[in-house]
Amino acid sequence: MDNNNIAPNTSVPDYITNMQQYNYVRISKYFMLYEFEDPLTHLVILHPRLLLAATQLRITLKDKFTIIAAYKDPKAETTEGSYSHDAHAAGLAIDVIHKDIDKETFKLVAEGSGFNSIVDYSEYIHLEVALKVPTGVKTNA
């Protein structure tokens, strides 16, 4: 870790605790961990398949979408109810808003990027990956 920006007599844990942003960690060339965190608890569960599909979508569309929701902690109190059986709670889903691209093209690119479920809620689009590989898809496993 580069300690050049840490004030003298400040321990690394204090420095991390005082950061403005939780999960300010680059997890790939295209994403920061905080993009997938629960906004209330700052916890993250991120399935590798979701990261792969989101990465493919980002590579294809560049900055034409923003993640507005990812992991939703089932223990967090919300006005929307419990997420205990929700794909968000399993780290398998993101909600996004798109820009500079029409909705139908966005959904086609999302499907080609590996998202198995695409639900259009007029204000945002829900994208989800499946745990099971669809029949007929070859894997290296």
Tens digit of each residue's pLDDT (9 = 90 or more) over 69-88: 999 988 876 655 555 558 99
Rounded to two decimals, the pTM is 0.76
Give the Cα separation of 62 and 74 in Å (integer).
31
Average pLDDT over the chain, rounded to whole?
A: 82
Contacts for 27 with CB less than 8 Å, ≥ 6 apart:
33, 46, 51
- Check residue 74 and give its pLDDT: 85
State the CATH class of domain 12-128. Answer: alpha beta
Which portions of the chain are predicted below pLDDT 70? Answer: 1-20, 77-85, 133-141
- Check residue 10 and give its pLDDT: 47
Q: How far is CA 99 from CA 104, 105, 120, in A?
A: 12, 11, 14
**Residue found under tokens 């690394």:** 12
Tens digit of each residue's pLDDT (9 = 90 or more) over 14-30: 544 544 578 999 999 99
Domain boundaries, the chain: 12-128
Residue 116's identity, in one-letter code, is N
What sign results for the dihedral spanned by CA atoms 127, 53, 71, 98? negative
- Check residue 63 and give its pLDDT: 86
